[in-house]
Structure 1
């Protein structure tokens, strides 16, 4: 997956903790969920990066993948900033899930059910087989076109068309048959993924009640819109049909009434609050989390909203209040550090960000933010620390362009121009701006020691040949 630099409205307002980067995503030609096709048509989807949320989603899906006998390191859950409830599989073994799905699910079990369903697609090899079905469909389409062309020739010679079913009808009929065959295949795969999800949930001693609840929500939303729909023209079974197929199977599970652990529910509540605070309209956030709600999640959402609306002092006071209750929560320290950093107080941001890293060392995105605070503090004595943190971050997140930009700045202020140009080349490379990446890598290579690790990294950029070379932005 190669990022393309297109700024999102939210990132232009306040480039915060939830990293919003529009990236090019290659989806299946016939997507596994309705909105995937929309995303594919535009070629770009707004991807959200956040350590707290990604950590929780990994904890949700890890036992599911183990039960499905799918290698966990091969599957990545990608979060899309979109208010609709949706999830789909694309790009091989990537599960894409909308922020709207996370905000609207009230329990971990509901979103775990969704992840189990998508894992069913991966374990079943549905995406690979879908490509084969598409290839078969192309053959059928060609056959239909050839038959239609033959009919047209026959019509010209006066042999076809006498009964009113001319070549045009034959062409349309063959194409419609291909489409219905493909949609029938997709419906069968969706049903298979539902059944696989129940098996995975049973294997992990979790309830399928959340998956059923999600499907019932779809059914309620579709109650009026599906009344006149031809079920054979849908890529998914109708919601009522899916519920009927799953209800008995789920109810037979000995784990049907199992509930989520309180600690997991608390993390889920914080995730929903964070996403709401960062992505929803202020009035929506306040409606979800009014001042009368004194829960930790509600105060978290209001603190983030205060940060978003340039009320940094209020946001810091609210984060201090939360940290008094949960002093070992690394993401609360991270949030406080971000507010300070992005309100023009980078020196003050260093201490809370260091605390966040101390509590959660394996967090490259937080380390990158700490590196930025160290660089922008203006203290030359902190540049070596900044380089260490940013190097650590980029080694684990090579697609995170912002960290390379800050690393280039740090090296430049140290007077190490070769390394500064290499980091600049990596920055442009991560953005997909190939010409600028080559220019910076060429300059760096001329200054770096031949065959050193840095020289080889510059050489790798110069040797890279993208299969598609989009114009630089």
Structure 2
């Protein structure tokens, strides 16, 4: 367990029923992370979105801005940008999209808002928000968590919810773009798609579908609330898209396959199992369908029933790291950390640059309670945090690892150093969860254990000095 394990965040709108999403990578049972603010973290999904976004960002001149795309755990079709560095996409956008091009079109449109400088009124409010959790809080999307994870078969049924209701009005106010800004973003998005030799058909299809479907909060599609679609705008967009020389371009088959896998994965975790089995019946023997059924089987019947299905996926695609990852995840969540280590090591070897998988491996190594594996856990966690320095789960696991090192240390000086490192890592975990009071408490303890002016002392001091930016 982590040093000073966090209490679940308690904010929730009274009309919202939380549907906690567990099981996606790095949302594991030993702590409540920044994902309690309503985000989904999953290495496979994030890798796919990076693939979608990279050429668009480069065409838009945004390649050097290190834009982070966050996945909001909500099944409605929605996406928004809050500054020049952070884009949010609802899980429902990925689940509803039939093709990669439809998601890429949304990313292109939102990139148009960034390039057009349409977010000036938000920048001052969000410039100092160091985590996606804090950004969502500032946007009026309160964090919520309905309870801790339970027994193994039900673990995958837990999830993170975003509070809407009265706070939805606050978000609409913040994201209420002007009509000319929307048209400008459309034109810029098509320009970026043309520059990358991709069709704008997906963007047009997404917006046309939204115009004909009224879904979401209080019967209104939330994307339409912040991105209104008058008929004239649709006509202009259709003219832009159909006149492109790349209108008939289609997604590469391998990209469509990855898209279908991610859709299946999200449905596997978000649908009730019986609904999932109807969505992906046994007559569908495609790999995405098998993937979805394996996840639903785990959620309904447990790890013993699911592992043969995962092994069949591995046999079919032995170089796909995320099948090993999910096998390790299921084993770990079911209480068998030792068995989880091997598939997670294999996943890391196949995807060495995926920090979420390394965090999960570090957690599994610590879960074995084998003192000989603590240093391997720290190595993986340090590597993960070097690539993603805002991972609350990563900091919480390395805090636990340093606490183990302190317990094992013989020399008083080494014990003090390891404890200070554990307290600092715990402070950083709370910080990126948006729990600033607890972060400052831990940072104060950590600071006392470091020499003045050293890098770790400065990190602790920075947390103590941080203040939540005002939203007025």
Which category of TM-score, normalised to the shorter sequence, fits these structures? 0.7 to 0.9
Aligned-partner Cα distance in 2 for 1:86–1:96:
8
Aligned-partner Cα distance in 1 for 2:271–2:195:
36
Shift of 1:18: 6.3
* Alignment partner of 1:241 out of 232, 248, 269: 232
Aligned-partner Cα distance in 1 for 2:470–2:198:
46
* Alignment partner of 2:87 out of 81, 84, 95: 95
Aligned-partner Cα distance in 2 for 1:331–1:103:
18
* Alignment partner of 1:403 out of 387, 394, 397: 394
Contact 1:81 1:98 in 2 (8 A): yes
Shift of 1:383: 0.7
Shift of 1:85: 0.9
Establish whether residue 289 from structure 1 lines up as the match of residue 290 from structure 2: no
Shift of 1:222: 5.5
Structure 2: gaps spanning 5 or more residues: 1-5, 13-17, 125-173, 216-223, 407-417
Establish whether residue 444 from structure 1 lines up as the match of residue 442 from structure 2: no
Deviations 1:255-299 (A, max 9, x none): 111111000000000111111111222233222211111100011
Shift of 1:252: 1.6
Shift of 1:428: 2.4
Shift of 1:128: 2.0
Deviations 1:135-167 (A, max 9, x none): xxxxxxxxxxxxxxxxxxxxxxxxxxxxxxxxx
Aligned-partner Cα distance in 1 for 2:225–2:49:
30
1:6 counterpart residue number: 9
Aligned-partner Cα distance in 1 for 2:467–2:228:
39
Structure 1: gaps spanning 5 or more residues: 25-43, 133-181, 224-232
2:462 counterpart residue number: 460
Deviations 1:343-395 (A, max 9, x none): 11100111111111111111111111000001010111101111111222233
Aligned-partner Cα distance in 2 for 1:357–1:199:
37
1:136 counterpart residue number: none
RMSD: 3.1
Aligned-partner Cα distance in 1 for 2:108–2:57:
8
Structure 2 counterparts to residues 60-459 of structure 1, below 5 A: 60-128=52-120, 186-221=178-213, 236-238=227-229, 240-415=231-406, 416-459=418-461
Aligned-partner Cα distance in 1 for 2:59–2:106:
15
Establish whether residue 17 from structure 1 lines up as the match of residue 25 from structure 2: yes
Cα 1:469–1:316 change in 2 (3 A) is farther
Shift of 1:194: 1.3
Cα 1:239–1:297 change in 2 (3 A) is farther
Aligned-partner Cα distance in 1 for 2:187–2:285:
40
**Which of structures 1 and 2 has the larger relative contact order (alpha carbons within 8 angstroms, sep 6+)?**
2
Aligned-partner Cα distance in 2 for 1:207–1:347:
47
Contact 1:186 1:235 in 2 (8 A): no
Aligned-partner Cα distance in 2 for 1:215–1:467:
36
Cα 1:431–1:447 change in 2 (3 A) is same
Aligned-partner Cα distance in 2 for 1:338–1:220:
40
Q: Secondary structure at the match of 1:95?
A: strand
Cα 1:447–1:129 change in 2 (3 A) is closer
Q: Secondary structure at the match of 1:126?
A: coil
Cα 1:73–1:323 change in 2 (3 A) is farther
Cα 1:436–1:243 change in 2 (3 A) is closer
Aligned-partner Cα distance in 2 for 1:183–1:400:
26
Deviations 1:152-209 (A, max 9, x none): xxxxxxxxxxxxxxxxxxxxxxxxxxxxxx9997112111211222111111111111
Aligned-partner Cα distance in 1 for 2:183–2:285:
42
Contact 2:291 2:313 in 1 (8 A): yes
Shift of 1:434: 3.2
Aligned-partner Cα distance in 2 for 1:63–1:391:
29
Cα 1:197–1:437 change in 2 (3 A) is closer
Contact 1:398 1:430 in 2 (8 A): no
Aligned-partner Cα distance in 2 for 1:183–1:452:
41
- How many pairs are equivalent? 389
Q: Secondary structure at the match of 2:56?
A: helix
Contact 1:216 1:239 in 2 (8 A): no
Tell me the TM-score normalised to structure 2 length: 0.75
Aligned-partner Cα distance in 2 for 1:429–1:183:
26
Q: Secondary structure at the match of 1:309?
A: helix
With 121-130 and 325-334 compared, the bigger mean Cα shift is at 121-130
Structure 2 counterparts to residues 23-62 of structure 1, below 5 A: 46-62=38-54
Shift of 1:467: 3.1
Aligned-partner Cα distance in 2 for 1:205–1:468:
41
Contact 2:65 2:84 in 1 (8 A): no
